[in-house]
């Protein structure tokens, strides 16, 4: 498979490689009275910024704020908290829900979320970026979340007494993780009821792939997210199903919010004929492409199950399958996240996640804020005990 990848993230995950530091924020040992001024000038070139704000204007404003703090602010404060808040505010001011700043501690914890194992509560969460609401998609079998009674569709309202609605999901996940054996207190909304829970963290092995052989030699593989371990788990599942005589395949991407693009492309490389998988374009028109080499090509019939929570890297997956015509998409309109984030490591160990490009399916479609329309549109029947979308997939393959 051709590799031409940057450190891009198509969902909650990230690619860790040679990360470029594009913003240097090294602080000296000055006194508190100049803290805001020093922080405000960090990252600016001498003279003026690209926005037209001059260095003198910024310095004057920051000095004014600092004077009011020094003269009137009642309580003690932590300089480091102020510093981090300024950086976070700078990124928040861009108005992009996918762009944010991570402290060094948050960055280190965030890296674990794509490794396939961590210490936490054991639940899959998803955020609606239009409302900021964070919802439980599922809990892992045998996990602390399951033992505490957390359920799918619960809305995560507070973590340790702080409301999390509108907070970047990656940062919320960082707060939910922690040392094994420690407790985290959360509040969830279920229907009209607010429920308080204390969950004891444990070591979690993320089950990103589940599979089984169905009737009529139909293999079934569900992918919950694209983490570091997912491509190997998928390859093992595919090999095992093939050894059992699999002739056709259902891949379930419902409620899969995305993840690592290189993992996604590796899996697609085992399914697609030779050709383009996905390409991206940045603000300068620079284009990066990912290709399948067709050394391993699944030649059976496929169905891909999708829904409104199928997002980002999962849409890359579904879009490529649909564009090549090698599988049938069944379900409902996908989420519609067609932009790419890069994780950039800063010199002090902190990092930023920033939107850098748009991605396009092989036929040139950018599905941002649009989504992908399935070949067979079918709403899930919540009243039935039977999975009607899965049953329709089986019927199509028969």
Just list the catalytic residues: 312, 323, 337
Q: Which of 175, 178, 196, 173 is nearest to 124 (CA)?
A: 173
- The 10 Å CB-count burial string (b at 16+, else e) for 213-242 is ebeeebbbbbbbbbbbbbbebbeebbeebe
Residues 221, 249: Cα–Cα separation, whole Å = 8
Instruction: Give dist(CA 50, CA 2) in Å, integer.
Output: 37
How many Cβ atoms from other residues are within 10 Å of residue 243's Cβ?
9
User: Quick one: which H or E segment has residue 163?
Assistant: strand 162-163
d(CA 118, CA 127): 20
Tokens encoding 91: 């990124």
Residue 290 and residue 279 in contact, taking contact as beta carbons nearer than 8 Å = yes
Nearest to 337 by CA among 230, 258, 252, 223: 258
The angle subtended at Cα 114 by Cα 340 and Cα 368, nearest 5°, is 25
Q: Provide the 3-class DSSP secondary structure of residue 398.
A: coil
Give φ, ψ of 288 to 5 degrees: -120, 140
Are 337 and 311 in contact, with CB atoms under 8 Å apart? Answer: yes
Alpha carbon distance 218, 301 (integer Å): 9
H or E segment to which residue 87 belongs: helix 79-92
Query: Using an 8 Å Cβ cutoff, are 320 and 327 in contact?
Result: no
User: CA torsion sign, 240 to 242 to 244 to 250?
Assistant: positive
């Amino acid at each position: 498979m051709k590799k031409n990848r940057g450190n891009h993230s198509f969902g909650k995950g990230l690619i860790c490689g040679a990360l470029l530091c594009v913003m240097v924020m090294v602080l000296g040992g000055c006194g508190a009275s100049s803290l805001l001024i020093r922080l405000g000038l960090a990252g600016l070139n001498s003279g003026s910024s690209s926005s037209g704000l001059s260095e003198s204007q910024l310095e004057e404003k920051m000095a004014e704020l600092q004077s009011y703090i020094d003269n009137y602010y009642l309580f003690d404060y932590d300089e480091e908290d102020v510093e981090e808040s300024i950086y976070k505010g700078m990124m928040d001011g861009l108005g992009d829900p996918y762009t944010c700043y991570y402290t060094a501690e948050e960055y280190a914890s965030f890296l674990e979320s794509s490794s396939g194992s961590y210490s936490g509560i054991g639940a899959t969460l998803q955020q609606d970026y239009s409302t900021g609401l964070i919802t439980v998609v599922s809990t892992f079998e045998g996990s602390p979340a399951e033992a505490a009674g957390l359920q799918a569709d619960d809305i995560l309202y507070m973590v340790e007494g702080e409301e999390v609605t509108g907070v970047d999901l990656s940062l919320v996940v960082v707060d939910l993780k922690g040392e094994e054996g420690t407790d985290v207190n959360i509040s969830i909304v279920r229907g009209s009821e607010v429920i308080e829970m204390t969950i004891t963290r444990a070591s979690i092995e993320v089950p990103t792939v589940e599979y089984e052989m169905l009737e009529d030699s139909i293999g079934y593989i569900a992918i919950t997210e694209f983490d570091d371990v997912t491509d190997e788990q998928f390859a093992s599942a595919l090999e095992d199903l093939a050894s059992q005589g699999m002739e056709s395949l259902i891949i379930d991407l419902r409620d899969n919010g995305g993840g690592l693009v290189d993992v996604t492309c590796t899996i697609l490389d085992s399914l697609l004929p030779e050709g383009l998988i996905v390409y991206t374009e940045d603000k300068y028109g620079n284009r990066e492409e990912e290709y399948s080499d067709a050394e391993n090509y699944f030649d059976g019939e496929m169905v891909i199950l999708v829904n409104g929570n199928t997002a980002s890297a999962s849409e890359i997956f579904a879009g490529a399958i649909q564009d090549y015509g090698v599988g049938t998409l069944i379900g409902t309109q996908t989420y519609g996240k067609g932009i790419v984030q890069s994780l950039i490591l800063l010199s002090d160990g902190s990092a930023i996640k920033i939107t850098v490009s748009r991605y396009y399916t092989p036929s040139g479609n950018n599905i941002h804020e649009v989504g992908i329309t399935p070949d067979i549109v079918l709403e899930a029947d919540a009243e039935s005990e039977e999975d009607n979308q899965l049953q329709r997939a089986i019927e199509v393959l028969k």
